[in-house]
């Protein structure tokens, strides 16, 4: 049996370090914010090449608070990819704004910059590219468009820890970059966790206030904030794992290279990596018109696989209110019907990755 992802194996690999870190917090007597959160924020900002990081409760909150910090609200529109995890859209809806979907380039699965202009209106407040599967979105044309129109760029980097765009890590290209440390992400906590990074001190300060009841000073509330603080136990775990992230990313790269080579001559469509991209390989996503039978073959061989994502956001009951007909976003719908994620992760052996290739070679 080859699992899609083995989080228990990741823990076992560094168990003594994790256990010591958790113990340290338990014994510190400090259980909300405090020194572990401060230290992780400094280390995460440094890793990302950003001036500031703010630890939050999860990735969805990171997106919501980023939009709130930019004063995006009712009556505003935000450009989002038509194919993404629904959290990207939900964050826009949560602040009362309208998600305006733009189709991806089917080769990269990421927002197609040349389709954005047609979707801009005088209500557009921000563009929200997603670095889907850990493949960096083509940021330069997006940033240029945003600057020309005086609107913000918020990046959904929930899958892109360590990914590089034109030789520079994701973390401070746009105005605010949003992170999730959900357990299955490349840098994953042992529960929910998230963060934003930015080079803008005012935005960082605003999000710091928003995450803590809208308060900078205890019992003085400047705005109606929320409770979305990064848990110090999770911060301590993330500090341990961050020290392994470079090494674990290299293992993902080795698996991706093996798949790209081993499956190149099959009928499967391989991920396309532009020459300016260094993906984080959060997911290794292939495409096939015959996706369900490819998945059935893997399942029969005891190999786990998943579909990211089987239903495009505009086809979800949650967005029936938008009244988008099924055929309005054909690229998103086609990708949802054809994508399949193969096992990948730091604890997947090259031998097991080779076994996955062998099951798929004659397709």
Q: Does 69 bind ligand PLP (CB under 6 A)?
A: no
Q: Does 155 bind ligand PLP (CB under 6 A)?
A: no
For residues 39 to 58, the per-residue mask of contacts with ligand PLP, x marking binding by CB under 6 A and - elsewhere, is -------------------x
> Which one, of 311, 304, 269, lies nearest residue 286 by Cα?
269
| Region 109-138 residues binding ligand PLP, contact defined as CB under 6 A | 130
Q: Does 64 bind ligand PLP (CB under 6 A)?
A: no
Q: State how far the Cα of 349 lies from the Cα of 344, in Å rounded to an integer.
A: 9
Q: Does 213 bind ligand PLP (CB under 6 A)?
A: no
Q: Of 129 and 343, which CB lies nearer to ligand PLP in the complex structure?
A: 129
CA-to-CA separations, 238 to 46, 135, 280, 348, in angstroms, rounded: 14, 22, 17, 21
SS3 assignment for 287-319 = ECCCHHHHHHHHHHCCECCECCCCCCHHHCHHH
The least CB distance from residue 59 to ligand PLP, in Å, is 2
Give 218-282 as a DSSP string: TTEESS---B-BPPHHHHHHHHHHHHHHHHHHHHHHHHHHHHHHHTTTSSSBPPP--TTEE---S
Tell me the Ramachandran region of residue 315: left when phi exceeds 0, alpha when psi lies from -120 to 50, beta otherwise.
Answer: alpha
Q: Does 159 bind ligand PLP (CB under 6 A)?
A: yes
Q: Does 234 bind ligand PLP (CB under 6 A)?
A: no
In the DSSP assignment, the letter for residue 283 is -
Identify which range of 153-161, 213-221, 311-319, 335-343 contacts ligand PLP by CB under 6 A.
Answer: 153-161
Q: Does 88 bind ligand PLP (CB under 6 A)?
A: yes
* Residue in the shown chain whose Cβ atom is closest to ligand PLP: 59
Q: Of 155 and 175, which CB lies nearer to ligand PLP in the complex structure?
A: 155
The least CB distance from residue 88 to ligand PLP, in Å, is 5
The least CB distance from residue 87 to ligand PLP, in Å, is 3
In the DSSP assignment, the letter for residue 338 is H
Q: Give contact residues for ligand PLP (rule: CB under 6 A).
A: 58-60, 84-85, 87-88, 130, 156, 158-159, 180, 182, 192, 194
């Amino acid at each position: 049996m080859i699992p899609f992802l083995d989080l228990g194996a990741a823990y076992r690999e560094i168990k003594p370090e994790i256990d010591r870190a958790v113990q340290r917090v338990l014994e510190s007597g400090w259980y909300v914010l405090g020194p572990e959160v401060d230290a992780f924020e400094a280390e995460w900002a440094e890793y990302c090449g950003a001036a500031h990081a703010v630890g939050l409760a999860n990735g969805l909150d990171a997106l919501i608070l980023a939009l709130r910090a930019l004063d995006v609200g009712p009556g505003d529109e935000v450009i989002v990819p038509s194919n993404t995890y629904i959290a990207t859209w939900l964050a826009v809806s949560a602040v009362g704004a309208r998600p305006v979907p733009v189709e991806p380039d089917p080769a990269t699965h990421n927002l197609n910059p040349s389709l954005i202009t047609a979707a801009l209106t005088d209500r557009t407040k921000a563009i929200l590219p997603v670095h889907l599967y850990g493949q960096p979105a083509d940021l330069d044309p997006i940033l240029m468009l945003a600057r020309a129109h005086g609107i913000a760029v918020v990046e959904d980097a929930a899958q892109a820890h360590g990914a590089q765009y034109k030789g520079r890590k994701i973390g401070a290209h746009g105005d605010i970059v949003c992170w999730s440390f959900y357990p299955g992400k490349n840098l994953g906590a042992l529960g929910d966790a998230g963060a934003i990074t930015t080079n803008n001190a005012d935005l960082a300060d605003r999000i710091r206030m928003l995450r803590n009841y809208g308060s900078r000073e205890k019992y003085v509330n400047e705005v109606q904030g929320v409770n979305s603080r990064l848990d110090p136990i999770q911060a301590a775990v993330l500090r341990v794992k961050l020290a392994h992230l470079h090494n674990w990313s290299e293992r993902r790269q080795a698996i991706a290279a093996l798949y790209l080579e081993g499956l190149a001559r099959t009928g499967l469509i391989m991920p396309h990596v532009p020459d300016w991209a260094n993906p984080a390989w959060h997911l290794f996503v292939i495409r096939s018109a015959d996706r369900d039978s490819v998945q059935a073959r893997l399942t029969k061989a005891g190999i786990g696989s998943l579909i990211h994502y089987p239903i495009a956001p505009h086809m979800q009951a949650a967005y029936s209110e938008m009244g988008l007909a099924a055929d309005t976003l054909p690229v998103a719908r086609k990708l949802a019907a054809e994508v399949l994620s193969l096992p990948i992760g730091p604890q997947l052996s090259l031998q097991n990755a080779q076994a996955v290739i062998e099951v798929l070679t004659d397709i």
